Amino acid sequence: MVVAPAIRLSALTKTFGSVTAVDGVSLDIAPGEFFSMLGPSGSGKTTVLRLIAGFEKPTSGTVSLFGQDVTTAAPFDRDVNTVFQDYALFPHMTVLQNVAYGLRIRGIKKAERLERARAALETVRLGGFGDRKPSQLSGGQRQRVALARATIVEPKALLLDEPLGALDLKLREQMQVELKEIQRDLGITFIFVTHDQEEALTLSDRVAVFSDGRIVQLGTPQEIYEKPRSAFVADFVGTSNVFEGDLAVKVIGKKGAFSIRPERMSIETSTRTSANSALGSVVDAIYIGGASRIVVDLDAGARINVIDDEKTPEAAAALRGKRVTVSWKATDVVVLSA
Ligand code: ADP
Ligand code: MG
């Protein structure tokens, strides 16, 4: 049996007046996949989610869920649910009532819905918090209530629009791990929208990188990170050093466009040159916890970043103002197509 994709978008386009928010997006997402849409603000990610949820109608193209064309179906006729960045919890209801809400509007009897709400709270590790009001919870806990509330109606896919965006870094990292565990426990498809590349790479089975309403690259986190196809992806997904035009000829020794990840470069105080190296002067060295980011102005005319996790912070700082040789392996040079 061929399993239908959980979500299939075909040539999906959405315009608002003169703005093309989504521009011909085609995509298959497999059942059970943790799929991320990653891109800068305004690249069309939220609009794609709203088209999948049915809050917007496409200008052209189609949306199918589990083999069924739902392009014109109402939101409540689609087997998906959405978690928004602001959680949208009801402040006057308890946590348990908030979670049970989706069952209430589906006419499930009280005893059953409270029992299922308690179980859902256990899933997000909030058993025992049911009697509190949302205002008595931390941001991370509120986020988990929103997750429980969205999953209790057993959607086949969950759409999450920057759900961790309001949390501070530490909590966000903790919630990333929990989100992944919850997704594994539930076994449902997650479509996760974020502008945070690290978050997308950490969580996802596959990532679609968006720019100007289009998917510019689609692949596993490793493919996206190690083999960015364009200067845009190389730069957006983890800072990269990009060499194009004359600079490519001078530094890489070839015509074309290339990138090298900062952590793939090494640095030493010498003025020797060989293949796969370039001379420059250190502008700054910044300790970033566990490694140093060393900024180098290459004589070829480019400012690059090198991430060094071998030198002590003091040794890295002592490089400021020094003449150095930056080197890399030929296999770490990624060829960009644009
Ligand atoms: P993202 O979520 O990636 O930040 P959006 O999907 O929200 O991007 O927006 C994509 C583009 O569409 C932006 O230029 C945005 O201003 C525009 N847009 C989104 N929704 C509307 C709307 N309801 N009316 C007009 N323009 C919109
Ligand atoms: Mg958005």
Which residues have C-beta under 5 Å from ligand 2, the single-atom ion? 46
CB-CB contact of 78 with 53 (8 Å)? yes
Residue 1 lies in a domain: no
Sheet (strand 189-194) strand order: 80-83, 157-161, 189-194, 34-38, 206-211, 214-219
pLDDT at 338 over 80: no
Question: Nearest 5°: phi and psi at 288?
Answer: -115, 20
Site to substitute for ligand 1 among 47, 51, 85, 196, most atoms within 8 A of C-beta: 47
209 shares a domain with 170: yes
171 shares a domain with 197: yes
Q: What is the CATH number of the domain that holds 329?
A: 2.40.50.100
Check if 41 has its Cβ closer than 6 Å to any atom of ligand 1: yes
Of 189, 182, 5, nearest in space to 82 by CA: 189
Most confidently modeled range among 10-14, 105-109, 265-269: 10-14
Residue ranges in the chain assigned as alpha helix (H): 45-53, 95-104, 110-123, 139-151, 169-186, 197-203, 221-226, 231-236, 245-251, 313-317
257 shares a domain with 123: no
Residue 303 Cα to ligand 1 midpoint, Å, equals 34
Q: Are β-strands 189-194 and 34-38 bridged in parallel, bridged antiparallel, or unpaired? A: parallel
Question: Going by C-beta distance under 8 Å and a sequence separation of 6 or more, which residues neighbour residue 115?
Answer: none
Of 206-210, 228-232, 270-274, least confident by mean pLDDT is 270-274
85 shares a domain with 38: yes
pTM, rounded to two decimals? 0.86
pLDDT at 111 over 80: yes
Of 13-27, 58-72, 160-174, 258-272, least confident by mean pLDDT is 160-174
Sheet (strand 60-65) strand order: 19-29, 7-16, 60-65, 68-69
pLDDT band per the 50, 70, 90 thresholds, residue 157? very high
Encode pLDDT of 84-97 as tens digits: 877 789 999 999 99
Residue 2 lies in a domain: no
CA dihedral 99, 101, 102, 104 (to 10 degrees): 130
The per-residue pLDDT for 105 is 86
The per-residue pLDDT for 14 is 98
222 shares a domain with 270: no
Residue 234 lies in a domain: no
323 shares a domain with 275: yes
Of 109-118, 138-147, 274-283, least confident by mean pLDDT is 138-147
58 shares a domain with 204: yes
pLDDT at 2 over 80: no
Interval 77-90 mean pLDDT: 86
pLDDT band per the 50, 70, 90 thresholds, residue 154? confident
142 shares a domain with 34: yes
**In DSSP terms, which residues pair with 241 in a beta bridge?**
260
209 shares a domain with 112: yes
Name the closest-CA residue to atom 23, ligand 1. 16
CA 213 to chain centre: 16
**In DSSP terms, which residues pair with 22 in a beta bridge?**
14
The per-residue pLDDT for 1 is 61
Question: Of 229, 264, 286, which residue sits at a domain end?
Answer: 229
Question: Of 229, 262, 277, which residue sits at a domain end?
Answer: 229
Interval 77-88 mean pLDDT: 85
Question: Of 196, 229, 262, which residue sits at a domain end?
Answer: 229
Average pLDDT, the chain: 92
Interval 7-23 mean pLDDT: 98
CB-CB contact of 37 with 76 (8 Å)? no
Site to substitute for ligand 1 among 19, 59, 193, 210, most atoms within 8 A of C-beta: 19
Q: Which atom of ligand 1 sits closest to the CA of residue 47? A: 6
Percent of the chain whose pLDDT exceeds 70: 99
Q: What is the CATH number of the domain that holds 72?
A: 3.40.50.300
CA distances from 152 to 139, 146, 263 (A): 20, 10, 43
243 shares a domain with 225: no
Handedness of CA 270, 272, 277, 278 (dihedral sign): positive
What's the number of domains the chain is made of?
2
Distance (Å, whole) CA 265 – CA 235: 16
Residue 97 Cα to ligand 2 midpoint, Å, equals 28
Encode pLDDT of 253-269 as tens digits: 999 999 999 999 999 99
Range of the domain at 317: 239-335
The per-residue pLDDT for 114 is 94
